[in-house]
Amino acid sequence: MWLLAAASSAALAVTLASCAARPHVVAAPAHEGDRVADQVEKMRDVQLGALMQFDGVLTSMSADLCPSLCGHHSAICDLATRICAISKNNSAHARAAELCEHATTTCRDASDRLPKDCLCEK
């Protein structure tokens, strides 16, 4: 009986020692990725709304387009910057990285489509 108790104690000690040797990794909750993706997707939707407004102003042929276009352009590119910052801080989320690429392309395209006489900050 004493031998069985000693063997059990030794097995427990070996098990505990092997557990202590492994690094303790806490997995992010499953909903964390969803929260990040939801946040980035909402921001991307806002960016696409700003792009639609940008296009509306661009096609309106108004005499003074530049202030409005520059405002929409700024919103589009600021959102791209924010989306990519979230993506960078959550590098494990592929959807956030994908939306960063799309948002950056949208900003670049909006910049390319600005009339040459509009001197917006780019």
Q: Is it the case that residue 16 has pLDDT exceeding 70?
A: no
Give me the half-sphere count of Cα atoms (radius 13 Å) on the Cβ side of residue 30: 0
> What percentage of the chain reaches a pLDDT higher than 90?
39
Q: Is it the case that residue 6 has pLDDT exceeding 70?
A: no
Rounded to an integer, what distance in angstroms lies between the CA atom of residue 30 and that of residue 95? 14
pTM for the complete prediction?
A: 0.61
| DSSP structure class, residue 61 | T
Q: What is the pLDDT of residues 34-67, one digit of tens each?
A: 888 899 999 999 999 999 988 888 877 666 788 9
pLDDT recorded at residue 120: 84
pLDDT recorded at residue 61: 63
pLDDT band at 33 (very low <50, low <70, confident <90, very high): low
| Phi-psi map region of 61: left, alpha, beta (phi>0 left; psi -120 to 50 alpha) | left
